[in-house]
Structure 1
């Protein structure tokens, strides 16, 4: 069951797929797709796998098409408008889940860049997942300070974004007070993941997210 949703974006209506969790105060996750000009859509293999995985972990989960992709109105805006699209998607998620226990953003490639930009605009974010973050293409210096900890995963054989550029970003983020980046690399993986590698990406994501959620539950129990 993949309920289609249309919600208001800054440049017209945006098309998404939304799963509403049964728990009243379930955590929420927003999943962001790769570059619109390079065939990125919300049906991308990695995006779909992350959506299913967050759904399986009991999250209210939304994936959507950036402006100009699929049925989403508007046209590509060089990243700036896409960041606004993502914050509009968060507005939608928060409106439908006013009592959400936690807010997560997960993105793949260009979506990872947009997701990390969203972190800076929404201090209430509880965690993030960045898959194949394009650290060699975009300046991630805006993450100063980075508002929350998260997972960064990269293919060791990434031909578009050399792994050392991401490791450098991770090392920089890990020097920040209170920030712990869970950095994982995947041997043999390029920028595009095979179905088998995609499954491993989803497993790593679940491992990270469940660790964070269990820690949060334990500290609430301790209070």
Structure 2
């Protein structure tokens, strides 16, 4: 799991990359929580999601947004961070040009950035959003959501109340055949401090059921000549 330095829009970006031995392996990009709230690529939730994808054979990358750790630049209200994520995805795709598809996973602020990236990059076939901050940021850009994914939040989240997540996400439109799965972890807080294993279980269960469908959909598109 080598440390990497990636040229970013505001200077170098510090990351950690786990390549795959399979040249056609899918890519997973993991995004951390708010830079001004203690978010960084070593947060337990980020580390856990990184390991989940790595163990499944994905070419997996997590990184620090601008101004965090050894990444240069400074916090940019989400605009620069979205640009960081797009640049990092370009970088990892450059080393995995045969990748079958991509996934994006993020916690809180990282979930918001990840879902914006999803709207801009058709190669992203799925997402994992942990505690998306629906009471802090506008999610109406999901119009409609182009890929299936899972949203997991805690019932004891004091930062993003679960009822707010459910209210906002229930209004999100999706493309035909797309489904957003929602799971609530009882008694879990915003960081899933005492419930990281339960969070991991939900993610593992979802990937176990969803990834075969993604592979099937990709094969069908290849046969019919559709992108």
TM-score, structure 2 normalization: 0.93
Shift of 1:101: 1.0
- 1:101-180 equivalence runs, <5 A: 101-173=100-172, 176-180=175-179
- Determine the structure 1 residue equivalent to 2:202: 204
CA contact (8 A) 1:131 1:152 kept: yes
Shift of 1:147: 1.3
CA contact (8 A) 1:41 1:69 kept: yes
Shift of 1:178: 2.5
- Counterparts of 2:195 and 2:85 in 1: how far apart (Å)? 26
Secondary structure of the residue aligned to 1:207 is helix
Secondary structure of the residue aligned to 1:115 is helix
Shift of 1:175: 5.8
CA contact (8 A) 2:140 2:172 kept: no
Q: Deviations over 1:150-205 (max 9, x none)?
A: 010010111010111111232223665332011100000011212x5112212211
- Determine the structure 2 residue equivalent to 1:191: 190
Shift of 1:218: 4.3
- Determine the structure 1 residue equivalent to 2:88: 89
CA contact (8 A) 1:174 1:180 kept: no
Shift of 1:221: 8.0
Unaligned runs of 5+ in 2: none
TM-score, structure 1 normalization: 0.94
- Counterparts of 2:59 and 2:28 in 1: how far apart (Å)? 6
